[in-house]
Amino acid sequence: MNAPLLEIKRLSKAFGRVIAASNIDLTIDPGVLTSIIGPNGAGKSTLINMLSGSLPVDSGRILFQGADITHLPIHHRVRMGLCRSFQVVNIFPDLTVFDNIQIPVLAVHKRARRLFRPVAREAGVREEVSQVLDRVGLAAEAQTVASALSHGDQRLLEVGIALAVRPRLLFLDEPTAGMNPVERVRVLENIRGLSEEGKTTFVIVEHDMDIVFSLSDRVVVLHHGVIIGDGTTEDIQKSARVREVYLGEEVMT
Ligand SMILES: Nc1ncnc2c1ncn2[C@@H]1O[C@H](COP(=O)(O)OP(=O)(O)OP(=O)(O)O)[C@@H](O)[C@H]1O
Ligand SMILES: [Mg+2]
């Protein structure tokens, strides 16, 4: 058995009287594609923000590969291999797709202080950027200015930017937000493929249930900052509590 990648212990966060996370216990294992679902305001983004370091926790602990990262700044977590993407698109719109990926690749190389000669290093960087573009299916768009990409391709570029820093664990907050169904399926199938490569473990927040159920190894359901379901897609589809929460939502809207 592999050690857990991430362990969350009794994590809590409140915004005034709103409890966004309430004593959350959760373990993420390597290679398991986990989806976090739940109604609007359930606390999904709050959880990801705390895990990635953009929001301080009120209480509880976060362990990454056994190390306590609860109070570490974002860049330390990134360096350890824990990254995230945002619910809104976050790319350099005026740069080409290639350059968007090259920036994080260069950052990693600089950090690794590789002792190659400059020419070899340049070739190495180019090769690595190309590999990332292949992995997210954007090789043909390498010289396109990012702002000219379709929305779906922009989201894939974001995934590429995150992958370029070679994360062990990557959180994607609504990677398909604002996409049409065709783009949605394409992006998520791409993520599924990347997950199966095994280099990066993905945790995604996604609203489309059909996609969640067809894609995920594991589904975690949040509601009012509490985990009300956690299991395989079959477990979650059978769960009376989960159905109650979702049906309740539908009846009300
Ligand atoms: N910075 C903040 N200040 C005050 N309240 C906040 C803040 N961030 C989140 N909240 C509140 O915390 C609760 C959880 O919000 P969160 O954004 O985590 O939900 P979510 O599950 O990501 O929802 P959505 O599906 O709409 O993205 C909500 O009631 C929200 O209004
Ligand atoms: Mg959210």
Task: Give the residues across from 227 on adjacent strands.
Answer: 222
Number of domains in the chain: 1
* Separation CA 132–CA 101 (nearest Å): 8
Determine whether the shortest distance from the Cβ of 44 to ligand 1 is under 6 A: yes
Range of the domain at 221: 6-252
* Ligand 2 is an ion; residues with CB less than 5 A from it: 44-45
Query: What's this model's pTM, rounded to 2 decimal places?
Result: 0.90
- Specify the pLDDT at position 222: 96
Classify residue 28: in a domain, yes or no: yes
Whether residue 115 lies inside any domain: the answer is yes
Distance in Å, CA 69 to ligand 1 centroid: 22
Tell whether ligand 1 has an atom less than 6 A from the beta carbon of residue 43. yes
Q: Cα(176) to centroid of ligand 1, in Å?
A: 18
Q: Establish how many alpha carbons lie within 13 A of residue 144's alpha carbon, considering only the half-sphere containing its beta carbon.
A: 14
User: Considering the domain boundaries, does residue 164 fall inside one?
Assistant: yes
Residue 140 placed within a domain:
yes
> Torsions phi, psi of 14, nearest 5?
-125, 145
Residue 119: pLDDT above 80?
no
CB 100 within 8 A of CB 92: yes
Domain assignment present for residue 143? The answer is yes
Q: What is the CATH number of the domain that holds 155?
A: 3.40.50.300
Residue 1 lies in a domain: no
Distance 117 CA to ligand 2 centre (A): 45
Could you give the CA distance from residue 165 to residue 108 in angstroms, rounded to a whole number?
6
Please state the atom number of ligand 1 nearest to the C-alpha of residue 222. Answer: 21
For 211-242, the pLDDT digits (tens) are 899 899 999 999 999 999 999 999 998 998 88
Q: What percent of the chain is predicted at pLDDT more than 90?
A: 63
Report, as an integer, the average pLDDT of 152-181. Answer: 89
